[in-house]
Amino acid sequence: MLENQQSLQTETKNGSVVVVGGSAAGLLTAAKVAAGGRDVRVLEAKSGLDPAPRSLIVTHHFREQLREVASSSIVNEIRRFELFTDGRSAEIALRRPDLIIERARLIPALAKEASKAGAKLSFDSHFLGLGSNSRGLRLDVETAGRREELHADHLVGADGATSRVGRSAGWPPIETVPLVQAMVRLPKDCRPDTTRVWFVPDDTPYFYWLIPENESRGALGIIGEGSGQETKKRIERFLEKKNVEPLEWQGARIPVYRKWIPVERRVGKGRVFLVGDAAAQVKVTTVGGIVTGFRGAQAVADALLGSGQNRELRALRRELDTHWLIRKTLHHFQQKDYSYLVDLLNLATRESLGEIHRDHSTELLWSVLRRQPRLVLLGLRGLLMGKGPR
């Protein structure tokens, strides 16, 4: 049942779960926990289900995670990557295509799934703070301008990178980096099934990308460091150089995963969990957080329902740690290192990159290193050049 601006009940049943944040990770957690028979309420600060449009690229793992819910949000498929650096280029064909999804379609589809499973969604509902009471957790909430107290046994913070749930329950703040992307007309020489990546270490230790949304439009973006304004200036200069006009801008700060964040804390008799960006469950190589946030959601749902024996959580931790190792290596690469890297991407290596998807990064890393051992030396050089990202 979808509720808008309806007052929250001050009592909930035993074993009840409140999820703060009605976006990707929160709605999937709510759908899974409600489907397991728990009483679930989602509190979302926005006034309704009208997410800003945003094109996102995900691996095909997304389809396996969401099954039929996935299809309504998929708008394009990516079959190859083109990597550019300093006049050189390399092409990687993907055996299983990456997917371009539209967030404005994904969020309503997930909300429908959560409601169908029995979760109750409340909009214009802001989580303010947390305490304990004799039975579990006491939540301070403001709904449609009215302050209320809500009681729950378990609380899930799916409220993004600046998670108020996290801070209220004692987790330290998460470091973030700016991500800025412009929607652009697709240049004539760019195929709609090909993502372009440019390594320009003078501009960013990450990269620029151009992800086609369809035959005529794409998202050209950058992950920066420091301020969002400086990052925007850099991408504006890059667009000018490429002779591409921005049609509209999208952006936000994205968490940086540096080490595993334990996802559960006890507050009095209650259990508090974090999922998605709130727990920095973001691949720090590409700052993709959809698939990994869904894995975090599955793991927390398993914990709340007493199933899964932490398998998903352990796998997610391994995955995020491997991305952190790769990022540490790349973070101090200079132009000549990227040139060498693109040259080393011989046919065998490119096959590994295309065959194994980025959500199995440990397998991918070993396969690439086996086929091109010189990459180990290059990687070690990257690791030794600095003590990791600033």
- Spell out the residues 6+ positions from residue 187 whose beta carbon is closer than 8 angstroms to its own: 210, 242, 244
Instruction: Answer left, alpha or beta for residue 284, where phi above 0 means left and psi between -120 and 50 means alpha.
Output: alpha
Q: Two tokens at 297? A: 């959601």
Binder of ligand FAD out of 8, 12, 143, 160 (CB under 6 A) = 160
45 counts as binding ligand FAD under rule CB under 6 A: yes
* Of 280, 271, 278, 281, residue with least CA distance to 303: 271
Virtual torsion, Cα 69, 72, 76, 77, nearest 10 deg: 30
Stretch of 5-13, 227-235, 276-284, 360-368 lying at the interface with ligand FAD (CB under 6 A): 276-284
332 counts as binding ligand FAD under rule CB under 6 A: no
298 counts as binding ligand FAD under rule CB under 6 A: no
54 counts as binding ligand FAD under rule CB under 6 A: yes
By beta-carbon proximity to ligand FAD, the closer residue of 26 and 136 is 26
* Of 34, 23, 42, 241, residue with least CA distance to 150: 42
Q: How far is CA 32 from the centre of its chain?
A: 19
Binder of ligand FAD out of 166, 212, 218, 276 (CB under 6 A) = 276
Q: Least distance from C-beta 128 to ligand FAD, angstroms?
A: 7
Stretch of 272-280, 310-318, 345-353, 356-364 lying at the interface with ligand FAD (CB under 6 A): 272-280
The Cα–Cα gap between 389 and 381 comes to: 14
> Which parts of 202-231 interact with ligand FAD (CB under 6 A)?
none
Question: Which single residue is written with the structure tokens 């973001």?
Answer: 282
Q: How far is CA 23 from the centre of its chain?
A: 11
288 counts as binding ligand FAD under rule CB under 6 A: yes
22 counts as binding ligand FAD under rule CB under 6 A: yes
- Pairing verdict, β 125-132 and 137-143: antiparallel
- Is 62 in contact with 73 (CB distance < 8 Å)? no
Question: Would you list the DSSP string of 276-315?
Answer: GGGGT-SBTTTTB-HHHHHHHHHHHHHHHHT-STTHHHHH
44 counts as binding ligand FAD under rule CB under 6 A: yes
Residue 358 φ then ψ, to 5°: -70, -10
181 counts as binding ligand FAD under rule CB under 6 A: yes
Binder of ligand FAD out of 8, 17, 18, 25 (CB under 6 A) = 25
The Cα–Cα gap between 356 and 311 comes to: 21
By beta-carbon proximity to ligand FAD, the closer residue of 86 and 246 is 246
342 counts as binding ligand FAD under rule CB under 6 A: no
Q: Least distance from C-beta 133 to ligand FAD, angstroms?
A: 20
The Cα–Cα gap between 326 and 57 comes to: 19
Stretch of 229-237, 285-293, 299-307, 310-318 lying at the interface with ligand FAD (CB under 6 A): 285-293
> Which parts of 103-132 interact with ligand FAD (CB under 6 A)?
126-127
Q: How many residues bind ligand FAD (CB under 6 A)?
A: 35
Stretch of 42-50, 114-122, 318-326, 376-384 lying at the interface with ligand FAD (CB under 6 A): 42-50
Residues in the site for ligand FAD, rule: CB under 6 A? 20-26, 43-46, 54, 56-58, 126-127, 158-160, 164, 179, 181, 250-252, 254, 276-278, 282, 288-290, 293
